[in-house]
Amino acid sequence: MKLLLITSAVVEAVVGVSLLTLPAFTASTLLGMPLDTPAGSVAARIAGAALISIGIACWNARNKERQGPAKGVVAALLFYNLAAVAVLVYAAIAVGSSSPLLWPTIVLHFALAAWCALSLRAK
C-alpha cells in the first residue's frame, strides 16, 4: 500500500501542478482538445488544485497503518480512479477527444484503480 500511495502522490501532484499553472497546455496535451473558454481554464485550475490535494493526502498517508488513514485514502483513490476512467472514456467516445496520451491515461487510471482494489482486499 505504501508504494501505491507514493506513486499516486507523485503522479497526481505533477499533473495537478501542470493543470494549475498551464491549464490550456495540459488539457490539450492530455485530451487533444483546447480549453476555449475562461470557464474551462478556471475549471482546469480547480481540478489541478484538487489533484494536488489528492497528492498531499497520499503522501501524508504513506506511512500510516494499513487499517487507519491509509485505507481511507486508498478507498477514495479507488473511486477517483474509476471516475477518471469513466469520464475519460466518455471524452474519447462521446465527445470525440483524441490525443496520443488519452488512452494511456485511461489505462493508467484503470491500473491504479485495480491496484487500489487489490490493496483494500489484502490483509
Q: Where are the domains of the chain?
A: 2-121
Highest mean pLDDT among 56-70, 84-98, 102-116: 102-116
Return the ∠ at Cα 18 (arms to 13 and 21), rounded to 5°. Answer: 120
Looking at residue 87, its pLDDT comes to 92
Looking at residue 67, its pLDDT comes to 66
2: its cell numbers: 505504501
Q: Among 15-19, 26-30, 109-113, which is the least confidently predicted range?
A: 26-30
pLDDT tops 80 at residue 39: yes
**Which DSSP letter does residue 32 get?**
S
pLDDT tops 90 at residue 52: yes
Q: Where are the alpha helices (DSSP H) in the chain?
A: 2-21, 23-31, 38-61, 69-93, 102-121
Q: What band does 123 get if pLDDT is binned at 50, 70 and 90?
A: low
Would the pTM of this model clear 0.85, i.e. be above it?
no
